[in-house]
Structure 1
Amino acid sequence: MACAVRKTSLCIRGVKPLCLNSLSSRGLVVASRKRWDEEPHRLATVRRSVTTHSAAALVSKAASTHWTSERVVSVVLLGMAPAAYLYPGAVLDFSVATALTLHGHWGVGQVVTDYVHGDLKIKLAKSVLFVTSMVTFAGLCYFNYNDVGLCRAVALLWGL
């Protein structure tokens, strides 16, 4: 009967004395001995490099932070809806303009990431998205500054 044992799986599970054994400290061994004085058959040792601070880990952290901020903006927008109706004002108007623009930019950005293929097309689509988001934010800020504001405009539309 043969049994293949990987050294790292033994060490991870807390079996430290086996890691100090000279036979198992050389990688993967096959224990198929009938006599204790025979040398065990060795399989090819697979060595892999594990880095904890790689670029992939940093990208994953940035993606996690981005995902969290998207969820925070979505929850804040849910709270802004009744606040905008009950307490309309300039601060809330600009906050709604900022949150709506960010929410729309991130949402359409995910659609672009999922459905646009090809390097040139992706760059063009992201550029168009960035310009559209900037124009949207500038237009909402212009409307807030020179007109009644977003909150009162929505209240006026509901009053029709």
Structure 2
Amino acid sequence: MALHFALRSSCRSSAPLFNTIINGGKLPVVSRSLTSGLPRSLLLVTPKTVPALLNGPVRQFTATAVRRSAAGNHVAIWSGERALAIGMLGIIPVAIAFPSQAGDALMAIAMVMHQHWGLEAIVTDYVRPILFGNLVPKLAHGLLLVVSVATLGGLFYFIHNDIGIANSIRKIWATQTKA
């Protein structure tokens, strides 16, 4: 109920601005009760003062080429991520169908790269410097790198010192079909 009254009162107080925009610059007749708390600069709304009321000048659109960020070409990175994801559609079934250390290594690298890039996007989106300061995002990215390297190292250890990823998956499926 309180939200309803807050929205109604905010709409009423912004009505002069929107009426002025709609009426082509003609000042609307506003009751004194709505304008009692507003500064004089907001009451004199004309088409020229509207951009100042909307927090500065109106942003211009341009058809020129997009400038690349200093961090690199994000389109190429995104394309590489999509290419890896599509490549995994072939790598994983072939590595499982024909188990070998090379296939397991290729599958491990692809899976770790895929999970690293996905988690890196999550960390970049949600652990922002504006929210956590400059140190926490750097620590989060560093921790993600450590986890990715440890995961890849653990998978390589499993591939070279045990039965491997593909044989493990085949063994799990074999026990599931017996049950």
Q: TM class by shorter-chain length?
A: 0.5 to 0.7
Change (3 A) 1:59 1:69: farther
Residue in 2 aligned with 1:128?
A: 143
Q: How far apart in 1 are the matches of 2:126 and 2:151?
A: 23
**Residue 101 of structure 1, aligned match among 99, 106, 112:** 112
TM-score (normalised: structure 2)? 0.56
Q: How far apart in 2 are the matches of 1:108 and 1:58?
A: 21
Unmatched 5+ stretches in structure 2: 1-63
Q: How far apart in 2 are the matches of 1:155 and 1:59?
A: 46
Residue in 2 aligned with 1:62?
A: 73
**Residue 79 of structure 1, aligned match among 83, 90, 93:** 90
Q: Which moved more, 1:78-87 or 1:109-118?
A: 78-87
Greater than 6 Å deviation, 4+ residue runs = none
Residue in 1 aligned with 2:165?
A: 150
Identity, % of aligned positions: 34
The structural deviation recorded for 1:58 is 5.9
Query: What SS does structure 2 have at the residue aligned with 1:159?
Result: helix
The structural deviation recorded for 1:57 is 2.4
Residue in 2 aligned with 1:117?
A: 128
TM-score (normalised: structure 1)? 0.62
The structural deviation recorded for 1:121 is 1.3
Q: How far apart in 1 are the matches of 2:89 and 2:70?
A: 29
Change (3 A) 1:58 1:125: closer
The structural deviation recorded for 1:81 is 2.3
Q: Aligned Cα RMSD in Å?
A: 2.0
Residue in 1 aligned with 2:156?
A: 141
Unmatched 5+ stretches in structure 1: 1-50
- Residues 98-134 of structure 1 deviation map (CA, whole Å, 9 limit, x = unaligned): 0011000000000001111222111010000000000
Q: How many positions carry a matched residue from both structures?
A: 108
Q: How far apart in 1 are the matches of 2:119 and 2:86?
A: 18
Counterpart code for 2:138? K
Q: How far apart in 2 are the matches of 1:140 and 1:156?
A: 17
